[in-house]
């Protein structure tokens, strides 16, 4: 860890100096910050999100501790203490006292924790570098997020499209050997997108309750297993625990466990942490929804669910319901992703994905 003693003004102007007219506020705005789940007295908010980097502003009340966590998608990480004083600990290193105005250069993805050791609220500005967007290889799989819950999976020359939606850039999507549909709203079941991406004669599996909306497909119910195009598909129940509208009753929608390229891949669809999800085992890659209506699958709950069935790697998707409904990003989405990562067990790899256009 490198520590630089510099004025806050110099450090932040250097970090935020970009050729675009984007603007970010270095201090103030604590009332707009979102509490970090599981860390009382700590809150965070998104200041700026650019293709090359992301800026967060954090607040820690006197005595508050941000538990050990990491930002696994960060290629680099600059940590600036704007106000207050902290004790910062990087995993595997001795604690460091950080004074107001200090700038620290952390390795991207480094696990760290901090505690406010002062008598005033500490304000921290963190800047994270981003890797260039593109398909993410996962040990023989190529995973390409398209939009919201729409994702492309490739292995062994075969292509699976899950919940293809016309609001994605389908020009970069490949024709599918198999299409899976999890539910019947348009962002899950889009007949135009299905017909555009479906290879001639390729199977399309849809929940039994959705079959009437796409009779060209093949119905599959919760609990069924089918082998199509040499790919094993298990339909997993996907439903609500918390009552209220919009509702997702048991039996209406499917998640899927797909065995492809020797890997078990779980697509949750829209669900809470129901017993059928908690019972999953031996999952290599999972796709989990977050920030669902009525505070279903909030970041801490979504992470706790993943920790139960412990996949080797997890993607969070279907997490910006405001964008899905209006095309405008919800506030503090990046902060909810950070909260999820912070609550995730250390043995599970978090995989970032570009699920929404900028």
pLDDT tens, per residue, the chain with 358 residues = 555 444 344 344 444 444 444 454 544 566 778 888 778 999 988 888 787 888 999 999 999 999 988 887 788 999 999 999 999 999 889 999 999 999 999 988 888 999 999 999 999 999 999 876 555 556 688 999 999 999 999 999 999 999 999 999 999 899 999 999 999 999 999 999 999 999 999 999 999 999 999 999 999 999 999 999 889 999 999 999 999 999 999 999 999 999 998 899 999 999 999 999 999 999 999 999 999 999 999 999 999 999 999 999 999 999 999 999 999 999 888 899 999 998 999 889 999 899 998 6
Phi-psi region of 148 (alpha: psi -120 to 50; beta: other; left: phi over 0): left
Q: Are 337 and 36 in contact (CB under 8 A)?
A: no
Go through 87-100 and write b for each residue having 16 or more CB atoms within 10 A of its CB, e for each that does not. Answer: ebbbeeeeeeebeb
Residue with tokens 């509702």: 247
Rounded Cα distance, 117 and 97, in Å: 9
Token pair in block for residue 92: 């595997």
Q: Are 142 and 153 in contact (CB under 8 A)?
A: yes
Q: Are 59 and 30 in contact (CB under 8 A)?
A: yes
Rounded Cα distance, 352 and 316, in Å: 8
Q: Strand 313-317 and strand 285-289: pairing?
A: parallel
CA distances 253 to 195, 310, 347, Å, are 21, 23, 30
Rounded Cα distance, 318 and 148, in Å: 5
In angstroms, what is the C-alpha Rg of the chain?
Answer: 22
Q: Are 39 and 64 in contact (CB under 8 A)?
A: yes
Residue with tokens 């020359």: 157
Q: Are 122 and 84 in contact (CB under 8 A)?
A: yes
SS (H, E, C) 241-262: CCCCCCCCCCCCEEEEEEEECC
Token pair in block for residue 16: 């935020």
Residue with tokens 């107001």: 100
Rounded Cα distance, 293 and 48, in Å: 25
Token pair in block for residue 125: 């500005």
Global confidence as pTM: 0.69
Residue with tokens 């600059």: 78
Q: For the chain, which domains are there?
A: 2-130 (2.60.120.10), 136-350 (3.60.15.10)
Contacts of 115 (CB under 8 A, 6+ apart): 60, 63, 64, 65, 66, 86, 87
């Amino acid at each position: 860890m490198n520590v630089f003693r510099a004025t806050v003004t110099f450090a932040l102007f250097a970090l935020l100096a970009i050729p675009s007219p984007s603007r970010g506020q270095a201090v103030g705005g604590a009332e707009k910050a979102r509490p970090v789940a599981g860390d009382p007295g700590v809150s965070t908010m998104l200041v700026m999100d650019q293709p090359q980097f992301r800026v967060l502003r954090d607040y820690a009340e006197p005595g508050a501790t941000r538990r050990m966590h990491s930002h696994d998608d960060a290629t680099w990480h600059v940590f600036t203490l704007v106000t207050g004083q902290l004790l910062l600990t990087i995993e595997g290193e001795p604690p460091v006292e950080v004074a107001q105005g200090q700038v620290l250069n952390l390795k991207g993805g480094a696990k760290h924790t901090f505690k406010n050791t002062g008598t005033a609220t500490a304000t921290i500005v963190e800047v994270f570098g981003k890797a260039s967007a593109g398909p993410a290889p996962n040990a023989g799989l190529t995973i390409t997020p398209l939009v919201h819950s729409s994702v492309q999976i490739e292995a062994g020359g075969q292509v699976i499209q899950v919940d293809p939606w016309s609001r994605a850039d389908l020009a970069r999507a490949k024709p599918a050997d198999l299409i899976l549909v999890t539910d019947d709203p348009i962002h899950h079941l889009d007949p135009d997108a299905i017909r555009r991406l479906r290879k001639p004669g390729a199977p399309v599996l849809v929940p039994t309750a959705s079959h009437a909306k796409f009779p060209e497909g093949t119905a599959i119910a919760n609990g069924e297993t089918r082998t199509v195009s040499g790919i094993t598909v298990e339909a997993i129940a996907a439903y609500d625990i918390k009552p209220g509208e919009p509702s997702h009753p048991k039996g209406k929608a499917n998640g899927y466990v797909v065995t492809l390229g020797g890997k078990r891949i779980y697509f949750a669809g829209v669900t809470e942490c129901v017993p059928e999800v908690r019972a999953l085992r031996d999952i290599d890659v999972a796709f989990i929804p977050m920030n669902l209506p009525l505070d279903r699958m909030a970041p801490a709950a979504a992470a706790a669910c993943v920790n139960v069935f412990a996949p080797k790697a997890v993607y969070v998707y279907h997490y910006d319901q405001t964008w899905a409904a209006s095309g405008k990003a919800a506030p503090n989405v990046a902060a909810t992703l950070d909260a999820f990562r912070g609550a995730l067990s250390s043995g599970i790899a978090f995989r970032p994905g570009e699920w929404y256009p900028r």
